[in-house]
């Protein structure tokens, strides 16, 4: 965004920013779900796709034509290729570094001793007193009603 703002003389505004943010979130979610993105070539493909669709969005709203000072196509293509390559290398290198750091942290905090085993708790099958819940249930039942001979 910064390079496009410098190149065209004006930053994109309004709905274009929202569309570019949705595009970036979509490419980011796609990169998070694809397992091969640890490879720099796969990441370059995703970044190139994002750049292509971003350019289509900017071209659709006339962002490049607004300032009238668009850089030559060869210069723009070279800048985009450099951004894709640099971005892919930085992302894959940081991914490898994060994996190494997380392995080191996991190894440092690994539980060294086995968990303490507790003796099994004995469960009493019956008691000489009824449970309180049984007493409350028996107290709440009403024995009043019509005689059995009158119900039939």
Higher pLDDT, 69 or 29: 29
Cβ contacts of 30 within 8 Å, gap of 6 or more: 46
Q: What is the pLDDT of residue 135?
A: 83
Highest averaged pLDDT of the listed ranges 39-43, 72-76, 106-110: 39-43
Confidence label for 22 from pLDDT (cuts 50, 70 and 90): very high
The whole-model pTM stands at 0.58
Q: What is the pLDDT of residue 65?
A: 54
Tell me what pLDDT residue 112 has: 65
Mean pLDDT, the chain, rounded, equals 79
Secondary structure (DSSP) of the chain: -HHHHHHHSS---THHHHHHHHHHHHHHHHHHH-GGGGSHHHHHHHHHHHHHHHHHHHHHTTHHHHHS-PPPHHHHHHHHHHHHHHHHHHHHHHHHHHHHHHHHHHHHT---SPPPPPPPPP-----SS--HHHHHHHHH-------HHHH-
In this predicted structure, the answer to whether residue 97 has a pLDDT above a threshold of 90 is yes
- Amino acid 49: pLDDT: 92
pLDDT in tens, 120-134: 877 767 777 778 888
Instruction: Give the orientation angle of helix 40-60 with respect to helix 15-33, to 10 degrees.
Output: 160
């Amino acid at each position: 965004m910064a390079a496009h703002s410098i190149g065209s003389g004006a930053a994109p505004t309004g709905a274009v920013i929202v569309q570019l943010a949705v595009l970036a979130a979509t490419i980011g979610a796609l990169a998070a779900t694809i397992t091969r993105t640890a490879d720099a070539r796969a990441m370059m493909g995703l970044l190139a796709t994002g750049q292509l669709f971003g350019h289509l969005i900017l071209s659709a709203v006339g962002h490049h034509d607004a300032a009238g000072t668009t850089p030559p196509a060869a210069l723009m293509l070279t800048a985009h290729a450099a951004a894709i390559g640099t971005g892919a290398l930085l992302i894959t290198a940081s991914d490898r570094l994060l994996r190494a750091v997380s392995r080191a942290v996991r190894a440092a905090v690994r539980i060294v001793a086995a968990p303490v085993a507790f003796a099994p708790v004995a469960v009493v099958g019956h008691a000489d007193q009824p449970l309180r819940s049984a007493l409350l249930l028996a107290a709440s039942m009403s024995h009043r009603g019509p005689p059995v001979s009158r119900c039939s």
